Amino acid sequence: MTAQEKLDSKTVLDTNPATGTAVAELNETDLAKLPEIMTRAREAQAIWAAKSFKERARHITMMRSYIVDRADDLARTVSESNGKTLTDALATEVLPCALACKWYANNAEKYLKEKNRPGGSILFFNKKTHMLRVPLGVVGIISPWNYPLSIPFGEIVMGLMAGNAVLLKVAAATPAVGRAIEQIIAAGELPEGLFHHIVGSGSKVATGYFENGVDKLFFTGSVPAGKTLMAQAAETLTPVSLELGGNDPMLVLEDADLERATNGAAWAGYQNAGQSCGGVERVYVVDAVYDQFVDLLAKKTRQLRHGVGCNDFNVDIGSLTTAGQLRTVQQHLEDALAKGARIEAQSRPVGNVENGFFHPATLLTNVTDDMLTMCDETFGPLIAVQRVANEEDAIRKANESKLALTSSVWTKNNKRGRAIAARLQSGVTTINDHLYSHGLSETPWGGWKESGIGRTHGPEGLEEMTQAKAVNWDILPSKRNIFWYPFDEATYNGIKNALHFVFPKGLGQMLSASLKLTPFLVKKMFTKWKTD
């Protein structure tokens, strides 16, 4: 960068939300250079797409080695930038990135290689089809601040293994993690220009993506922002994959292991200060075990410690990431209390929490369906527990939400759990667990309703990074198909005999149609069209 460019450039400051101290300062990307960036990305993508899956995997494996070797540094960067604890950062950000490298490097070819498509009818016995998965070209990623490393990195690896170039825009609240991703990618020694980290306003970057012909946009964020992007993408018919959050239910049946269920609720509800799209927000407990469940979860909630987690391992819950999100959590709690909810228990602060965006883990009871925390995404450390009469009541209430990302069922009877899971309206349902399948590279991630469209992760995620292309050809040296010109009565009768041959009323009709069809096929397909 020249001296003048340094003077003209704007910067983005990354501040630790738990302490208020500066973490890093990055220069914003000059969006006027997006056409040049896109050109370089397309040139590099052509080189990259020509590489075999094995060659691409070698580069991804180099990234994995970097992640493993620098796990402590990466966990600290995430913790300082996002506010979560070191343990949380290591478990839910760094480890999943290493796992993603291995799974996609090992499995991309299996799911994206050329495949034979079996024929659908004997009438087209002479046709053969292969299915190709063709790279999209240049994919754009706009990622959130709640999992600033693992969410975008998984999509980056999917995009690269599928043969694409990648333009990444991380959240404005966590740009230091974007710089860390740059360093991971650099360790992979990719072709110059294949990956670009774009720093700047999300809406402006998205507009730049669309204006410069990005081939697909992957966005994780709020429902309103997702709807805006989808409307914008419609102007150019740019495909989008949207993961827009959830208000996820947990169903606790009368035969549940309450020790495990309360452990799971505490983890999935309070982890990352509750800032998890797929975390537990609504808990429906059948009447028979409601009091026991609440009593046990309350005791565990009181034992949890919230505080600065980037320097102290003896902290369970860190801070929220933005002041705006803290206000939303406070608003949802105030709304619930005003409508009759009761605070059963809260976590206790440790150390200095005066300078950060902290909110205690809070267990609520006496909740009603009209409360904000029950009908909107809180995205904070609030768990609302409601008593229900039975499993049917729990299923009905769980499905009433306009959001449908994940859900969970807690029962000792796995068969019963799977049957209920099939009835729950969500992209993911787990049994006796919650908020972990995003870390399973082999399982798809995404939701229904206003939780978004499309899928990331797993074979489905790899396919989202490609275009489906059918290649079909004739295995016989025929002159014409039976339905080609010229038309005459024989053509009509021949096609009708083909219909009766494939769908006969009985053996006699099939044999009769076959005897009439065969000479017609031979004549139509293997004789020249007489034009004189």
Give the C-alpha separation, 344 to 385, whole Å: 10
Confidence of residue 328 (pLDDT cuts 50, 70, 90): very high
3 pLDDT higher than 90 = no
Give the C-alpha separation, 322 to 257, whole Å: 36
Give the C-alpha separation, 96 to 203, whole Å: 28
Residue (of 263, 268, 266) closest to 248 by Cα position: 268
Instruction: Indicate the average pLDDT of the chain.
Output: 96
Check if the beta carbon of residue 38 is closer than 8 Å to that of residue 213: yes
Give the C-alpha separation, 251 to 284, whole Å: 5
Q: Which of 100-104, 252-256, 484-488 has the lowest mean pLDDT?
A: 484-488
Q: Which is catalytic among the residues 243, 281, 377, 450?
A: 243
321 pLDDT higher than 90 = yes
pLDDT in tens, 140-198: 999 999 999 999 999 999 999 999 999 999 999 999 999 999 999 999 999 999 999 99
Would residue 245 be called left, alpha or beta, if left means φ above 0 and alpha means ψ between -120 and 50 degrees?
left
243 is catalytic: yes
The architecture CATH gives domain 248-441: 3-Layer(aba) Sandwich (3.40)
Alpha-carbon torsion, ordered 213, 216, 221, 226, to 10 deg? 70
2 pLDDT higher than 70 = no
Quick one: what percent of the chain has pLDDT higher than 70?
A: 98
Stated as kind and residue range, the H or E segment containing 204 is helix 202-211
Superfamily of domain 9-244+460-470: Aldehyde Dehydrogenase; Chain A, domain 1 (3.40.605.10)
Quick one: what percent of the chain has pLDDT higher than 90?
A: 96
End-to-end CA distance of the chain: 74
Q: Any bridge partners for residue 453, and if so which?
A: 242
Per-residue tokens: 456: 């990331």
Give the C-alpha separation, 411 to 390, whole Å: 13
Give the C-alpha separation, 13 to 28, whole Å: 10
Check if the beta carbon of residue 371 is closer than 8 Å to that of residue 397: no
Confidence of residue 323 (pLDDT cuts 50, 70, 90): very high
Could you tell me which residue, 391 or 202, shows the higher pLDDT?
Answer: 391
4 pLDDT higher than 80 = no
pLDDT in tens, 7-52: 456 899 999 999 999 999 999 999 999 999 999 999 999 999 999 9
491 pLDDT higher than 50 = yes
Give the C-alpha separation, 38 to 349, whole Å: 48
The arithmetic mean of pLDDT across residues 108-136, rounded, is 95
| pLDDT of 9 | 63
CA angle 263, 268, 274 (to 5 degrees): 130
344 pLDDT higher than 50 = yes
The arithmetic mean of pLDDT across residues 333-346, rounded, is 98
pLDDT in tens, 407-438: 999 999 999 999 999 999 999 999 999 999 99
pLDDT in tens, 212-240: 999 999 999 999 999 999 999 999 999 99
Q: Can you count the helices (H) and strands (E) in the chain? A: 19, 22
Give the C-alpha separation, 487 to 523, whole Å: 13
Check if the beta carbon of residue 65 is closer than 8 Å to that of residue 74: no
Q: Residue 311, Cβ neighbours under 10 Å: how many?
A: 15
| pLDDT of 194 | 98
| pLDDT of 57 | 98
Check if the beta carbon of residue 199 is closer than 8 Å to that of residue 26: yes
User: Domain spans of the chain?
Assistant: 9-244+460-470, 248-441, 478-526
Check if the beta carbon of residue 189 is closer than 8 Å to that of residue 66: no
Q: Any bridge partners for residue 216, and if so which?
A: 139
Residue 165 phi/psi, 5° resolution?
-90, 155
Give the C-alpha separation, 409 to 265, whole Å: 11
Confidence of residue 532 (pLDDT cuts 50, 70, 90): confident
Burial class from Cβ neighbours inside 10 Å (0-12, 13-18, 19+) for residue 131 reads: middle
Domains 9-244+460-470 and 248-441 share a fold: no
